[in-house]
Amino acid sequence: MNNLQIALFFLIGIVSSILFHISVASVVSTGNFNKDFYVLWSPTHVNTSADGHTRTLKLDQQSGAGFASNQMFLFGQIDMQIKLVPGDSAGTVLAYYMASDQPNRDEIDFEFLGNMSEQPYILQTNIYADGFGNREERIYLWFDPTKDFHTYSVLWNLHQIVFMVDSIPIRVYRNHGDKGVPFPRRQPMSLEATLWNGDSWATRGGQDKIDWTKGPFIASFRNYNIDACVWKGNPRFCRVASHVNWWNLNNFSTLTSPQRRWFKWVRKYHMIYDYCQDNERFQNNLPQEWSLPKY
């Protein structure tokens, strides 16, 4: 074998190795809760169908419950169909979120705040970056989320984080790291869901407590999809743009025109709180991102 053949053989090996790592970087979930998730606490309050395709969490006076993904991810898109706690759910909190395991944690949160019967459900979103949160936004959902399943999604890439409800973008958090705004981009995160007692704050600032006679409180999950970069210890493979890591492609670096129209509709007709407009809370020193573009 001459020097040219050796060099060519060596180059093919390097390319094959890179392609292999890229190909295993993304996972499409199995759809089986028993295979993709483990129970965080209170297994007696977690019920999974025989085929593993549906799961419920229960909250009563003894305990809440939760589950988390076996894998951790750095960028991608997650989708979960959820049916929220029906009836008088005041004081309950269903959290569906991504979270890192570091002290200066990153988080991408959906929090569904329980309500009195016949009142609209509040969806709160929040983002932690480098251990700091305080980035809450709240909307009223434009449908009854207890009657049927709806899809709640997060698209997370190097450019933006997009929260979606039934594919409608309700919040965008753009990467303005070049301007000093923290953005989750280094820490891998797991996908978690928990149901717990938050009646010290969740409903009307803690005025409405949980009525345990209305329990147990049940939230249901199904048809999840995790299409994300599985953390293998090297962020390089998660940051590459490819047909596998499709979320990093330029097409997903900002909202499309139709998405922008839906986003404006949500914020005009359904938003009830935006931390970037809370001068009293921040004593007229709003976070830097309030003045920066969202797309």
As a residue count, the chain comes to 295
Are 170 and 151 within 8 A, CB to CB?
A: no
Element spanning 125, H or E: strand 122-128
pLDDT by residue, tens only, the chain of 295 residues = 554 443 444 443 433 344 334 444 566 688 999 999 999 999 999 999 999 999 999 999 999 999 999 999 999 999 999 999 999 999 999 999 999 999 999 999 999 999 987 788 999 999 999 999 999 999 999 999 999 999 999 999 999 999 999 999 999 999 999 999 999 999 999 999 999 999 999 998 989 999 999 999 999 999 999 999 999 998 888 999 888 899 999 999 999 999 999 999 999 999 999 999 999 999 999 999 999 999 9
Backbone phi and psi for residue 158, each to the nearest 5 degrees, phi listed first: -70, -15
Does the annotation mark 111 as catalytic? yes
Does the annotation mark 107 as catalytic? yes
What is the pTM (predicted TM-score) of this model?
0.90
82 Cβ contact partners less than 8 Å away, ≥ 6 residues apart = 94, 96, 112, 145, 149, 150, 152, 219, 220, 221
Find where tokens 């305080």 sit: 134
